[in-house]
Amino acid sequence: MEAHRSYERFEEGHRVAAARDHYGEPHYARNAALAVAVMAAFLALATFLSDEAVKEVVTGETHRADTSARLESNRVKIDIASGNAGLLEALGTGNAQLRRASKEALRHETRIARELKPADAHLTAELRADEKETDHANTQHLDYELAEVGLQVGIVLASVSIIARRRWLLACGGAAATAGVLLLLLGLLA
C-alpha cells in the first residue's frame, strides 16, 4: 500500500516536471523525479522486508510457545517418574514377589527418567534458539519500519521540491532517504 502511494506521488511529480520543462529547468525536475522513483523502489523493498520480519516474529513466537509447552510437559513427566520411583522403592521393602515387581518397575521408571532428562536439555536449548530468532526478527522489523519512515519523508520532500522548485527540499529529502536506506541495510546485515 505504501509503495502504491509512493508511485502516485512519483506520477504527480512527473506530471509537474513535464509542465516545468517548458520553463527552462528540465534537468532539475527530471532528476528530482528520478530520485523520487529510486526512493519509492527502496520503500517497496523496506515494506516487503518489514512484512517478512513480522511473519518471522509471529512464527518465532508460535515456535517458542510450542517448545515451552513441550518443555513443561517433559518436566511434569520427569517429576512423575521420580515420584513413582520413590513409591516403588518404598513398596519394595515387603515380600519377595513385591520386591521383584518393584525392582522391575523401578528399572522402567529410571530408564524413562534417563530419556526425559536429555530431552529436557534439548528442549531448553531449542527454546533459547527460538527466543534468539524472534528477538532478531523483532530488531529487523524495527529497522525496516524506521527505514520506511525515512524513505517516505524523503519521497514527500523530493516531490514537494519539484512543485516548489526548491533544491534544499530535494537535498533534505535525499538526506532522509539516505537515512532510510542505511536503516534498511542495517536490518539486512543484522
pLDDT digits (tens, 9 = 90+) for 101-130: 677 777 777 777 777 778 888 888 888 988
Name the residue ranges covered by the structural domains of the chain. Answer: 2-189
CB 10 within 8 A of CB 33: yes
Q: How far apart are CA 56 and CA 97, in angstroms?
A: 58
pLDDT higher than 70, residue 13? no
Structural contact between residues 128 and 159, judged by C-beta atoms closer than 8 angstroms: no
pTM of the model: 0.65
Task: Output phi, psi for 24, to 5 deg.
Answer: 95, 5
* Distant-in-sequence, close-in-space partners of 85: CB < 8 Å, separation ≥ 6: 106, 109, 110, 113
Q: Which CATH architecture has domain 2-189?
A: Orthogonal Bundle (1.10)
SS3 label, residue 27? helix
